[in-house]
């Protein structure tokens, strides 16, 4: 599968794990296997995460309290970790806020 150029964004505090940068242009390298959301998580953990991977990934998925969106749609509507990534996808990780 060819490389994938996507935008990865963090908000609600999730950006604090990624150098306090909210928007990243990411190029996923070409490889044999498909690039899906599940593999993106581990690529981000290995390549973009600055600290505390347990605050981003727990087990095989994203930790509780972070919503994953692709192109402004909840990943739950897209097949979750199985969703296959396309060029120009915008993947957003939102840490939910609780303050008032």
Residue 49 or 55: which CB sits closer to other proteins? 55
The pair of three-digit structure tokens given for residue 2, joined into one six-digit string: 């060819």
96 makes contact with other proteins (CB under 8 A): yes
CA 28 to chain centre: 12
Site string for other proteins, 22-51 (x = CB under 8 A): ------------------------------
Q: How far apart are the C-alpha atoms of 70 and 93, rounded to whole Å?
A: 9
Least distance in angstroms from the C-beta of 99 to other proteins? 4
Least distance in angstroms from the C-beta of 33 to other proteins? 27
The pair of three-digit structure tokens given for residue 65, joined into one six-digit string: 């309290």
Return all residues near 31 (Cβ < 8 A) that are at least 6 apart: 1
Least distance in angstroms from the C-beta of 100 to other proteins? 4
């Amino acid at each position: 599968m060819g490389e994938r150029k996507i935008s990865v964004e963090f908000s609600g505090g999730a950006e604090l794990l990624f150098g306090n940068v909210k928007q990243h242009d990411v190029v996923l390298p070409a490889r044999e296997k498909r690039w899906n959301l599940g593999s993106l998580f581990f690529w981000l953990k290995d390549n973009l995460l600055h600290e505390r991977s347990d605050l981003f990934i727990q087990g095989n998925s994203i930790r509780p309290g972070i919503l994953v969106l692709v192109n402004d749609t909840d990943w739950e509507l897209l097949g979750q970790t199985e969703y296959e990534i396309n060029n120009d996808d915008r993947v957003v990780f939102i840490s939910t806020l609780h303050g008032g």
